[in-house]
Amino acid sequence: MKNKSSNNRKIVSIGQIAGWLAVFVVLILFFNTSGTKETTLDYSAFKQKVATAEVADLTVAPSIISGMYKNDKGQFVPFKTVRMEDPNLVQELSAAKITYKAEQDRSWIGNILFNVLWIVLLIGLWWFIFIRPQRSDGKSAMNFARSKAKMQDPSKQTVTFKDVAGCEEAKEELEDVIKFLKNPKKFQKLGGKLPKGVLLYGAPGTGKTLLAKAVAGEAGVAFFSASASEFVEMFVGVGAARVRDLFEQAKKNSPAIIFIDELDAVGRRRFAGIGGGHDEREQTLNQLLIELDGFESKQGIILMASTNRPDVLDPALIRPGRFDRHISVPAPDLKGREEILKVHAKKVKLAPEVDLKIVAKGTPGFVGADLANVVNEAAILAARADKEAVTSVDLDEAVERVLAGPQKKSRIISKHEQHVIAAHEVGHTVVARLTNHSDPVHKVTIIPRGQALGYTLQLPLEDKFLTSKSELLDKLCILLAGRAAEEIVFGEITSGASDDLNKTMAYARKMVVELGMSEKLGPIALPNGDDGEVFLGRDLSRHKTYSEELARTIDEEILNLIRTSYARAKDIIISHRVAFDKLVETLLQKEVVEASEIDEILGLKPAVVENQPAIKPAENEHTPKEEPKAPKATRPEAQQAGLFD
């Protein structure tokens, strides 16, 4: 097979050379025949023209005379004539007042250089642009249809499953791929076939690409990595050609793994959007489907791909027989976060008092990329302070930098605005601490971070995968507490609650429309135009599935939830006004108040594991009835106050 492929390459190269030689011949003929043709005059005719002064711009050489002469139409056109032995020529030219210049004949070497050198230069330029890059690294200008996938040598694969943490289930699913690549006969003798394609999907930063590299490192096979966007070009058909070339390279180096990152760049549903589909992307997708049908598992090629949007992929791509194994790579749980922190902390010198389990508890919802950033930021902060090792203080500051951004200590804020921000944040803090189903308050600060002028940080005691109606009602109350505090203290409101209001509206609508948590509407879920369809063309063709009367009822229920929660937040703050004012004064003095001091000012015991306050809530506080739980995002959200929320 190798001899055959080398022969094919020779045939292709010979054909290319022959083609370019033909182009050069055509160019030579063109340049030799292009331009104004010179007329050849007899010497006697030339002498007559000289006598009548009908020549001009003469160039007199020892063997050739050239210049311009007047033809029968009275136009000056170029001519040339062979010079004869004529001693009187110069005198006759001077008598007729004809200008001329003398010139030496070119030698035969000069003629060769003049006529051939430019051809040699063209050939050299052609070799430099097309042949030389092809011999060195294959990146020729004529190779635009070749795949840009990078092949990594199996001996240089250093990433293994030891470098991947927090996704044990995904690693177990990929063990089959590794075992098959190492020992395919074990599966083939029982008639089993490995899935042709493995699709890794999950939120950004969960480690999908790292998992693919670890599979290649564990199996010790060739690894081809490419981004899906590399296939799509301006010219239609280039993407399909690159897909063909990628699979050809993989077959020559089998067993091998092909990894395509961000598959949704070419794998989106066809014939979607305004004006139909995208020809280049759809041709690339069609070629990918053909290649997946074409190769067999016995060839030792595994196609892996990753995406953050599995819902937009074409059904023909993810059906059984193509990408028939789908592996979810979710955000890590508490144990997974601790393991990920240990992996990234291997290269960092930690102080003896650092407990990574505590850091993992304070980072719910963080993915692997976030945790890697936390460790790196902590190391930078420790180095900036000339410390010998990274301390817990550095890690805590790094977590807050990832959550809310760096501190803006240089930002100048007036005393009145500081008072407004403090009251706003204390409103969040007090209501969060005095409701039954909210996450514990970790700290409250009025030190600006990022675009936030202040924030209240709540961290759950444990990972949560379900959210009850009571928890969502408390969430609405907490979000509106900042605006309620501004109205109670100052008698007017500011723009600092803009982000809180946006979140409140989103939560309330989700409760009514999607989660069936409206007592008036009951357990129904209605389409809201955001149910997985991301193409504008389909959105325009979608019709409402409910009446205008039901739409008015939905709006009424949403407004009722928001107004009730706002009134409830105001009641809690008014009932605890003394503690509220004291906490505002403390926050203005210290700028940061921790959980223990918050509980001391409010007269509470520390939050227990069940996440319940140690005292009864205020008499006018509404405690809603428990309802079935609903899905919720696990990442903590800092309550922020500021013009730029």
Q: Which residues are catalytic?
A: 425
Q: Is 525 exposed, middle or buried (0-12, 13-18, 19+ CB in 10 A)?
A: exposed
Sign of CA dihedral 610, 611, 617, 620: negative
Q: In 3D, which of 334, 302, 325, 306 has the Cα closest to residue 165? A: 334
Q: In 3D, which of 342, 343, 347, 337 has the Cα closest to residue 379? A: 347
- C-alpha distances (whole Å) from 518 to each of 509, 510, 513 are 10, 10, 8
Please give the backbone phi and psi of residue 261, each rounded to the nearest 5 degrees, phi first: -85, 145
Run of H or E residues at 576: none
Q: The tokens 């009641």 sit on which residue? A: 571
Count CB atoms within 10 A of the CB of residue 590: 12
Sign of CA dihedral 280, 285, 289, 294: positive
Strand partners, 200: 306, 327
- CB 213 within 8 Å of CB 223: yes
Q: What region, left, alpha or beta, does residue 335 occupy, with left being phi > 0 and alpha being psi -120 to 50 degrees?
A: alpha
Pairing mode of beta strands 39-40, 76-82: parallel
- C-alpha distances (whole Å) from 637 to each of 189, 473, 479, 599 are 53, 16, 11, 21
User: What are the strands, taking DSSP E only, across 27-163?
Assistant: 39-40, 55-60, 64-70, 76-82, 100-102, 150-152
Cβ contacts of 547 within 8 Å, gap of 6 or more: none
**Nearest-angstrom CA–CA distance, 276 and 280:** 12
Give, as one character, the DSSP assignment of residue 326: E
- CB 360 within 8 Å of CB 374: no
Sign of CA dihedral 560, 562, 563, 569: positive
